[in-house]
Amino acid sequence: MSNLRKKHIPLYVQIFTGMIAGAVIGFAALQLNGGARFVQNWIYPWGQIFIRLLQLIAIPLVFVSLIRGITGLKNISSFSRMGGKTVAIYLSTTVVAVVLGLSAGLLVKPGSLVDRTQIAHIQEQYQSFAEEKKHLAEETKEQGPLSFLENIIPNNIFNAAGDNSKMLQVIFFAMFFGLAALTVSPAKIKPLISLFDELNDVILRMIDYIIRVAPYGVAALMAGLVADFNGDASIFSALGVYALTVTVSLLIIIFGFYPLLLRLFTKIRPPEFMKNIYPVQLFAFTTSSSAATLPLTMDVVEKKLGVSQETASFVLPVGTTINMDGTSCYQAIAVVFIAQVLGMELNAVQLLYIVALTVVSSIGTPGIPGGSFVILTMVLTSAGIPAEGLALIIGIDRPLDMLRTSVNVTGDAVTAAIVDGK
């Protein structure tokens, strides 16, 4: 296939094709003597390289995105007035979305549909990994009740930046840095803001390059997983239930949670809101990009919903950066699903950690197609779940990405209406 033709194939089609190709390679290898070992030695490592690339970019992405978002508020007074209210609403709705996602994942248990003998096989592979996490959990029990907060503050930012499991420490430093930067005079801070804008452009380009090799990484990971599961097809049934769980949860947010917020805090009737916001949702669904949808979102929110230009021009761009209700809900379900497939029990401390990390790291999720892969990889690692489990869901991610982007932009519009007092 020529490069010209390949460019016309949508990325989600390439990724899905990679998933199918990887499954075929895995099944074919199982029919050959020594085929499974060949896959593990010569194919699966390429998938692990793809995972490492995602892990590589996670900390720079979150660090730069957070600082850009905070410094974009111009000054502390803006942050304390409209900014504080906006951020509070965004983070509150994200908490609700994460809790809904965790609840759905724990209630439905889509990962439990995978054959138990295969889970035992996977557990053997990660036995040393599990023992390490068990040891850490025992140490955690011996710590005081405020140790969680104590561990958020790093004593060395460079050590924290060199360990993906310490992402919360990096986030704390980025927020501290950004708020301090707001107190410096605009003339002095302008070069720094320009630097982070340029760094953000470079990082987004790096993500674009990584996502381009996603079809090959997925193929390699899926081939390795099929070989590990000895061709068991129960994983595909579990994937179907997982996708349905994500879809229903996201629809609950759009048609249940957001209309409730409109009724409680605005004068806009939910049916009127949905009628006006529908073109934005459709555009977001098509592009899978909150950033690409932003101009249309601003136009509809101002002209159709009557939100002031001052409010819309602040709340909506900030929302593109920090409001990821749909993404956060999906990530919570994905983490639970992957843990269930790998036979890992998540305790209360881990669940609380997932909530906190997903909420805060949602600020660093880029509003571009595939951007959530990076953050999800980081959440998995931080929660003590092997990031290779991402291969289980990445192949069917595109339609879910389209739907959760629609949720994200809807949440932006709802928040703008609430802040404006409409």
Is pLDDT at 252 greater than 90 in this prediction? yes
The pLDDT score that the predictor gives to residue 140 is 47
In the prediction, which pLDDT does 124 show?
Answer: 54
Q: 416 or 296: which carries more pLDDT confidence?
A: 416
- pLDDT at residue 273 tops 70: yes
Assigned domain for 2 exists: no
The band of 250, judged by pLDDT with boundaries at 50, 70 and 90, is very high
Q: Please, which pLDDT band fits residue 258 given cuts at 50, 70 and 90?
A: very high
Domain membership of residue 5 (yes or no) is no
Q: Structural domain of residue 396, as residue ranges?
A: 10-420
SS (H, E, C) the chain: CCHHHHHCCCHHHHHHHHHHHHHHHHHHHHCCCCHHHHHHHHHHHHHHHHHHHHHHHHHHHHHHHHHHHHHCCCCHHHHHHHHHHHHHHHHHHHHHHHHHHHHHHHHHCHHHHCCHHHHHHHHHHCHHHHHHHHHHHHHHHCCCCCHHHHHHCCCCHHHHHCCHHHHHHHHHHHHHHHHHHHCCCHHHHHHHHHHHHHHHHHHHHHHHHHHHCHHHHHHHHHHHHHHHCCCCCHHHHHHHHHHHHHHHHHHHHHHHHHHHHHHHHCCCCHHHHHHHHHHHHHHHHHHCCHHHHHHHHHHHHHHCCCCCHHHHHHHHHHHHHHCCHHHHHHHHHHHHHHHHHCCCCCCHHHHHHHHHHHHHHHHHCCCCCCCHHHHHHHHHHHCCCCHHHHHHHHCCHHHHHHHHHHHHHHHHHHHHHHHHCC
Give yes or no for a contact between 316 and 408, defined as CB atoms under 8 angstroms apart: no
Q: Which residues of 53-75 are buried (b: 16+ CB within 10 A; e: fewer)?
A: bbbebbbbbbbbbbbbbbbbbee
Where is average pLDDT lowest: 29-43, 257-271, 276-290, 333-347?
A: 276-290
Mean pLDDT for 51-61 is 77
- The answer to the question of residue 320 being in a domain is yes
Question: Residue 251 above 90 pLDDT?
Answer: yes
pLDDT at 97: 94
- In a domain, residue 405? The reply is yes
- Decide if pLDDT at 16 tops 80: no
pLDDT at 67 over 70: yes
**pLDDT of the residue at 382:** 74
Q: Find the CATH number of the domain harbouring 332.
A: 1.10.3860
Q: What is the pTM of this model?
A: 0.66
Confidence tier at 290 by pLDDT (50, 70, 90): confident
Mean pLDDT of 200-228: 82
Is 16 inside a domain boundary? yes
Which position has the token pair 């996977």?
122
Q: Does 174 or 145 have the greater pLDDT score?
A: 174
pLDDT tens, residue by residue, 28-45: 988 888 888 898 899 989
The total number of structural domains that make up the chain: 1
Helix (H, G, I), strand (E, B) or coil at 26: helix
Mean pLDDT across the stretch 192-216?
A: 86
pLDDT at 73 over 90: no
Residue 209, in any domain of the structure? yes
- Average model confidence (pLDDT) across the chain: 79
Residue 4 lies in a domain: no
The confidence score (pLDDT) of residue 186 equals: 82
The whole-number pLDDT of residue 105 equals 93
Distance of CA 203 to the CA centre of its chain: 16
